[in-house]
Amino acid sequence: MPITDMTACELAAALTEKRLSSREATAAYLDRIAALDKEINSYITVTPEQAMKDAEASDKRRAEGRALSPLDGVPMALKDVICSKGVRTTAASKILYNFVPPYDATCWSRLKAGGAVLLGKVNMDEFAMGSSTETSAFGPTRNPWDEERVPGGSSGGSAAAVAAGLAAYSLGTDTGGSVRQPAHFCGVVGLKPTYGRVSRYGVIPYASSLDQVGVLARDCRDAASVLQLIAGQDRMDSTSAPAPVEDYASACGEDITGLKIGLPKEFMSDAIAGDAVAPDIAFAMRQGAERLAAQGAVVEEVSLPHSAYALPTYYILASAEASSNLARYDGVRYGARAENAENVYDMFTATRSANFGAEVKRRIMLGTFALSSGYYDAYYNKTMQVRTLIKQDYDQAFAAGFDCLMTPAAPTTAFKLGEMTDDPLTMYMQDICTVPVNLAGLPGLVVPVGLDNGNLPIGLQLIGKSFDERTLFAVGSRLESPLRLQPGLEM
């Protein structure tokens, strides 16, 4: 098996058994990036010298019997919104084009402490605002299953890199589906942990009450192994939770007999997403339910009545928080700065006008309006009230005995590049299945289950109780059908 076809855990086992060195694995990935990524454009910055240096250090540790973690020496990638000391971090925006952080994000420092080898920083929608990775200042990423289609967003570079064999796994971020929807489009596993499970320190913020670091990987065991390394409370992030970190990988393959799995009717049969869900995805949902039932799970319909309000609630709330968070990019402290301005006001205006993309400007304006005098109560406060109702729907479902819920990951499979760029509302509809999970702060896991009639990947979403990622991995590992690029689709 080619090195770049291995899962992260298979590669880790080969390193442990001395069948392979980290240097060999890293070189294989770097060669593949050099050969193929000109077409996919999944990377913004590649770090070959540092990667090879870190791989050699890993090989030395393993030779001395002191591996730092099971994944020591496994090559991976970071979404370019996660700060990495000494490595350019751009958020895919011109305003941070040359920004080099002086510190590491906690999630990356924990992976480094486990011996991770960083191949580079991967592409994304600018400031994580988008569902297709077309808003990047570095150009769009292409879906490796069909280069005329999008990989999803905003963590499209992370998903495409894993799917194309350009990284063993990658970290992304998920504010409204930005890990899970790209996982569905690219045929990989995408995990959004419970809000607070993973520190957000060092992650360039979009919407602070919704953002969460997530994992893109080949299968559930890989995702679980990565979560094991990055989870846990962090004194640098007051929103990180003191919940104990469990052995997530051991949940993969566990018996699911008797687990009660809910199918929210709003996502399949009425006005929320039912009309928009493609027939192939609806069929995959039925097959998935049958597969889980055949393994002993109890599958029943459940209702989440306030889900219809999730999408407008999300876009008002997230835009309001973005308006506040992005105020720091003013040309004064760091980042790009407009030259030859006559005064501070002109400099501030020119800097933001020239260096923010259209989608970022759209959301800043929407959020500023929602927070403005006379509209705060009508918009922002109302969304906070609706958010509570949405969370209560999930609380009631879990209180009724459901262990997890299953929904589509998105209404369609990957759409074509440019198909929705002139229609923001249609683009926003791509998030209809994922944003309720962020509003409720719950964990969500997307696993690949097959292909549609056009040979495009389909993933299904599992939603769990707060801090119960183990159940998601148990069910997800029983549901997943890991995909590989087929002959004729291989680049």
Q: How many residues does the chain have?
A: 491
- Judge whether residue 270 has pLDDT over 80: no
Does the CA dihedral 254-256-260-263 come out positive or negative?
positive
Residues 299-326 pLDDT 10s:
999 999 999 999 999 999 999 999 999 9
For 309-323, give the secondary structure using H, E and C.
Answer: HHHHHHHHHHHHHHH
Instruction: Kindly calculate the radius of gyration of the chain based on its CA atoms and give it in whole angstroms.
Output: 21
pLDDT beyond 80 at 269 = no
Its pTM stands at 0.96
Reported as a single tens digit per residue, the pLDDT across 420-435 is: 998 888 899 999 999 9
Tell me the DSSP string of 397-461.
HHHTT-SEEEEESSSSSPPBTTSSTT-HHHHHGGGTTTHHHHHHT--EEEEEEEE-TTS-EEEEE
Residue 484 — pLDDT band, cuts 50, 70, 90?
Answer: confident
Distance CA 364, CA 370 (A): 10
CB distance 40 to 69 below 8 Å: no
Q: What is the rounded distance in angstroms from the CA atom of residue 423 to the CA atom of residue 110?
A: 40
pLDDT at residue 27 in the model? 98
Return the amino acid letter for 289: A
Closest CA to 308 of 432, 175, 174: 432
Question: Regarding beta strands 169-173 and 75-79, do their DSSP bridges make them parallel or antiparallel, or are they unpaired?
Answer: parallel
Q: How many CB atoms lie within 10 A of CB 247?
A: 9
Active site residues: 79, 154, 178
For residue 209, is the peptide bond before it cis, meaning its omega torsion is within 30 degrees of 0?
no
pLDDT surpasses 80 at 446: yes
Whether 168 shows a pLDDT value over 50: the answer reads yes
Tell me the C-alpha distance between 347 and 355, whole Å: 12
Q: Which two tokens stand for residue 453?
A: 């009639």
Mean pLDDT within 141-158: 98
Q: Is the peptide bond before 154 cis (omega within 30 degrees of 0)?
A: yes
How far, rounded to the nearest angstrom, does the alpha carbon of residue 7 sit from its chain's CA centroid? 18
- pLDDT value of residue 275: 65
Q: From CA 50, how far away is CA 25, in angstroms rounded?
A: 14
CA 401 from centre of chain: 28
List, for residues 8-67, the tens digit of each pLDDT value: 999 999 999 999 999 999 999 999 999 999 999 999 999 999 999 999 999 999 999 999
CA nearest neighbour of 406 among 314, 256, 292: 292
Q: Residue 464: in which H helix or E strand, if any?
A: strand 457-464
For the segment 152-164, what is each residue's pLDDT rounded down to a tens digit?
A: 999 999 999 999 9
Q: In whole angstroms, what is the distance from residue 378 CA to residue 382 CA?
A: 6
Distance CA 361, CA 354 (A): 11
Residue 369: CB atoms within 10 Å: 14
Q: Measure the CA–CA gap between 153 and 133, rounded to whole angstroms.
A: 5
> Sorting pLDDT into bands at 50, 70 and 90, what band is 86?
very high
Give the model's pLDDT for residue 491.
46
Domains of the chain: 3-255+444-479 (3.90.1300.10)
- Joined tokens for residue 254: 């566990």
Q: What are the CA-CA distances from residue 455 to residues 32, 279, 447 (Å)? A: 23, 14, 16
pLDDT of residue 74: 98
* HSE (side-chain half, CA atoms, 13 Å) at 344: 3
pLDDT at 337 over 80: yes
Rounded to an integer, the average pLDDT of 402-412 is: 97
Looking at the predicted structure, is the pLDDT value of residue 230 above 50? yes
Cα separation, 157 vs 172, whole angstroms: 9
Reference 461, options 357, 248, 40, 475; nearest CA is 475
Q: 31: Cβ–Cβ under 8 A, 6 or more apart, which residues?
A: none
- The answer, yes or no, to whether residue 274 has pLDDT greater than 60, is no
345 CB-near residues (< 8 Å, 6+ apart): none
Element (H, E) at 264: strand 260-264
Higher-pLDDT residue of 91 and 490 is 91
The Cα-based distances of 296 to 22, 76, 91, 220 in angstroms read: 41, 36, 44, 20
Q: What is the mean pLDDT of the chain?
A: 95
